[in-house]
Amino acid sequence: MLDVVEEFVNKIISFGGFKRSEFSNRAYGELSTAIKNMSKHDVVMISPIINKYKSCKGELIIDTTDNPKYGLKKTAIKMKNLSNGAYGKGFKIVLFLYRVKNKTLPLGFGLLHKGSKTQEQITLDGLSILRNTFKLKPKNVLADGAFGTQKITKRLDDYGMSFVIKGKKNYSLDKKQFKNQIQRGYGSKTGYLNNGVKVKIIRRPKRFFMTNRVSLPDEEVLATYDKRWKIEETFRFLKSRIGLNRCQQHSIRSQEIYTFGCLAAYSIFETIRDQSIYKTANSFFLGDRVIDNSIMNQVFAA
């Protein structure tokens, strides 16, 4: 299996995208079967990475990124570009990242499209797999306000997972909206969400944050949430250097295979780097280095 992934990642680097014609039917079929085996409930988990780092305490970061696509009428969903307010079509990638030992590794992902489950359910399924199948016990779970739903915060608390999630002003604490609990400026307050989870909310000054570790000082909570920004750097690298959004294949299975390949490439660069990930990647893109068996074993052998 590793030799097929090695071939796939090297071709992504060489061509800057996905060309089905570059793979033999055997290699593509083997990779497709592997992705199918790793896929449960619309979530693909990268089991070698999880098994390698699950005993390490780190931050589990969850977020989404838009992947605009055209010609995918049966699967594309409508998406809003937050930078300019325009709408387009494509699908979203829900990514589970693990920040540990100064490395940030992708544990898994799910594709949000017309035929998939909701973002909330993909997230719940991912959390369930990480906790029940792989026994992952993160130090903290970090996410933005889109993941602060009643079901997700309840699931995290039931699992005994500490979370710091950006809140929305219309979320309720003790049956009263956040914006009315702390009406202006700075402050914090402890109470209960509608699902019965005890949290502390913090306001700074137009943003709200919430955590189920209510004894933590406000500034420590905010400093913990700041670590979530790493996922934005990961998305930027995946798109600008690896070409996450360059796969023009129409099937969701092909999109999953390509996304897996991009995340595998990212895992390699992040694991072996002794400098910035950009400088490490450049040595491969410029042809000075190639990904071989020794690198694959170093990254994926648990």
CATH number at residue 274: 3.90.350
> Over the chain, what is the mean pLDDT?
88
Banded model confidence at residue 17, pLDDT cuts 50, 70, 90: low
Task: Find out whether 134 and 219 touch, Cβ atoms under 8 Å.
Answer: no
Burial of 206 (C-beta count, 10 Å sphere; 0-12/13-18/19+)? exposed
Q: Which pLDDT tens digit goes with each residue over 229-273?
A: 989 999 999 988 888 887 777 778 888 888 888 898 899 999 988
Q: Which pLDDT tens digit goes with each residue over 103-161?
A: 999 999 999 988 899 999 999 999 999 999 999 999 999 999 999 999 999 999 999 99
Domain housing 126: 2-300
How many structural domains are present in the chain? 1
pLDDT at 40 over 80: no
Q: Which of 207, 204, 232, 205 is nearest to 219 (CA)?
A: 204
Percent of the chain whose pLDDT exceeds 90: 52
| Sign of the dihedral through C-alpha 21, 25, 30, 33 | positive
- Min mean pLDDT across 14-18, 44-48, 131-135, 205-209 is at 14-18
Banded model confidence at residue 221, pLDDT cuts 50, 70, 90: very high
**Rounded distance between C-alpha atoms, residue 24 and residue 247, angstroms:** 18
Banded model confidence at residue 82, pLDDT cuts 50, 70, 90: low
pLDDT at 9 over 90: no
- pLDDT score recorded for residue 41: 66
Tell me the pTM.
0.91
The SS3 of residue 237 is: helix
Task: Find out whether 76 and 89 touch, Cβ atoms under 8 Å.
Answer: yes
- Min mean pLDDT across 10-24, 25-39, 120-134, 223-237 is at 10-24
Q: Which pLDDT tens digit goes with each residue over 51-74?
A: 999 999 999 999 999 888 776 777
pLDDT at 87 over 70: yes
**Rounded distance between C-alpha atoms, residue 230 and residue 252, angstroms:** 27
Q: Which pLDDT tens digit goes with each residue over 171-190?
A: 999 999 999 999 888 999 99
**Rounded distance between C-alpha atoms, residue 255 and residue 111, angstroms:** 9
